[in-house]
Structure 1
């Protein structure tokens, strides 16, 4: 059996993330310095000290989460003396985490990943005026039932299943009024919970088209190499290695669904039994057992986590 390294998405950010790694390992500090230099911004200070409201801003949260993931990745490689390809057979990331996965697999440089994510965050925020879009988590309904809820709630507005995270955990995204209708419809159809999420924009739906166009232009000029380990891409839930295809999928990903449940099941079909979540938080680790009881999730984001993981190699 094999391991896959997976990288978290927005929502996993927290003030202080990555600080223990930076204090314990010079290579982690170097990643934060690289990102600060690439962005001409003291992002590492914001990550360390907050304020939380500024860190949560999409244009800061996205490169910051990538920085923590890559700091942890560099620590794993330097402390083990092994490369990513020695430790994992596949990589994947949840939404922005796909950029972290590509940087970990040397398909993107850390500096380019930081700049692209800064632009991605800013473009997603600008795509829809604040207050006009929304997202909601629907728990306890299948993807098919959640899609039916979205269709009924749309009434001519955008309303779509944006994240298929696990069995019975789907996130809807779209116009605010449509999402509010969807929450009530979902409750009427037997959802255990249907709640609006505290997000600043309706990600992964057709309303993000202006952001997709901005990313298409930026990615056209970005250097993308073949990854050292195949990427399981969000929008197709299968592995890709061709740089041209990766470029296309990163553009599609802005408006497209994050097919996380299917991606994890695909990795299982490729003999992966352990997902190692590299970076801030434990969101993806928590989803693993909900998707497949045969798989294990391990989170690596502190020096103690690093030590525990290295002892398992």
Structure 2
């Protein structure tokens, strides 16, 4: 069995995530304390106690989700003696989850990842005035049809693009609000089962995010990046990357670029991966893996019990 570890993106956050880990595993509690220290605030309190509307704020959700993912990895490595480098052949993360993947693989420090994700969330929010951008999920159309829809939807310099290729028949579009709203009925005309606006605060992964990309480029220039202990499948290329300077460049491109998650999973399968382990909050990626290729297996690690069972299975 060849494994990849995957790391969830925004939308997987829930109040209480990571709390059981922190209460039962000192190694996990240390991760949350380190993130709190890096951000000079008690983000962990928002994670454990809410309110949900505060946790959902982009600049909180991004470092919070990363913290839970790294807590899982640290517990696995330090309490159960399962190093990531021996348990996984590749790592990959969905959008902000790519930072979690890089941190898990030793390319970024936990403190730097927390600071970068806080900035990333703030920069994305600043890039487009509230109400001017939107995102929508288009269900039941393949990518070629979605690309035709978004091309038809734009008018007078508007932006509308396929932002997340999540799975077969599950594509998220992003851009100028009017263009995204125009795209939904066009998608239905082409046979989409559903098109629904998403409750997001900004139009991520489209050209409107260019100001945020420039902020991230400046911050990443000042951030040390090491070669990861296992290759990272990059969002924007859906290919394995090891070179720190390439990773740095791709993290900038990722802000405006498409999240090629379906292609990433298929690439890992092509490279021999048959088992996907989702580390952190929720089971979104585990579900997407099965939707992309039903021959692949998926497993979610969120609690001490999950981690112990997984570690035991490796040693049996």
Q: TM-score range by the shorter chain?
A: over 0.9
What residue number does 1:113 align with? 113
What residue number does 1:186 align with? 187
Q: 1:48 offset after TM fit, Å?
A: 0.7
What residue number does 1:216 align with? 217
Q: Distance in 2 between matches of 1:75 and 1:134?
A: 38
Q: Distance in 2 between matches of 1:33 and 1:187?
A: 47
Q: 1:251 offset after TM fit, Å?
A: 0.1
Q: 1:79 offset after TM fit, Å?
A: 2.6
Correspondences of 1:149-168 after superposition (within 5 Å): 149-156=149-156, 157-168=158-169
Q: Distance in 1 between matches of 2:222 and 2:183?
A: 39
What residue number does 1:233 align with? 234
**Structure 1, 297-306 or 205-214: larger mean CA deviation:** 297-306
Which of structure 1's runs of 4+ aligned residues deviate more than 4 A?
Answer: none
What residue number does 2:56 align with? 56
Q: Distance in 2 between matches of 1:89 and 1:18?
A: 25
Q: 1:155 offset after TM fit, Å?
A: 1.7
Unpaired runs of at least 5, structure 2: none
Q: Distance in 2 between matches of 1:225 and 1:194?
A: 41
TM-score, with normalisation over the residues of structure 2? 0.98
Q: Distance in 2 between matches of 1:120 and 1:4?
A: 25
TM-score, with normalisation over the residues of structure 1? 0.99
* Pairing 1:128–2:128 present: yes
What residue number does 2:47 align with? 47
What residue number does 1:276 align with? 277
Q: Distance in 2 between matches of 1:16 and 1:168?
A: 31
Q: Distance in 1 between matches of 2:79 and 2:241?
A: 28
Correspondences of 1:79-94 after superposition (within 5 Å): 79-94=79-94
Q: Distance in 1 between matches of 2:106 and 2:309?
A: 25
Q: 1:80 offset after TM fit, Å?
A: 2.3
Q: Distance in 1 between matches of 2:155 and 2:284?
A: 33
Unpaired runs of at least 5, structure 1: none
Question: Cα deviation per residue 1:18-37 (whole Å; 9 max; x = unaligned)?
Answer: 00111110000000000000
Counterpart secondary structure, 2:274 = strand
Q: 1:309 offset after TM fit, Å?
A: 1.0
Q: 1:241 offset after TM fit, Å?
A: 0.2
Counterpart secondary structure, 1:272 = coil
Question: Cα deviation per residue 1:172-223 (whole Å; 9 max; x = unaligned)?
Answer: 0000000000111111111011000000000000000000000000000000
Q: Distance in 2 between matches of 1:303 and 1:192?
A: 39
Whether contact under 8 Å (2:82, 2:311) holds in the other structure is no
Q: Distance in 2 between matches of 1:136 and 1:82?
A: 39
Question: Cα deviation per residue 1:41-82 (whole Å; 9 max; x = unaligned)?
Answer: 100001011111111000000000000000011011123212
Taking only aligned residues, the RMSD between alpha carbons, in angstroms, comes to: 0.6
Whether contact under 8 Å (2:80, 2:308) holds in the other structure is no
Whether contact under 8 Å (2:9, 2:97) holds in the other structure is yes
Q: Distance in 1 between matches of 2:21 and 2:82?
A: 18
Q: 1:154 offset after TM fit, Å?
A: 1.1
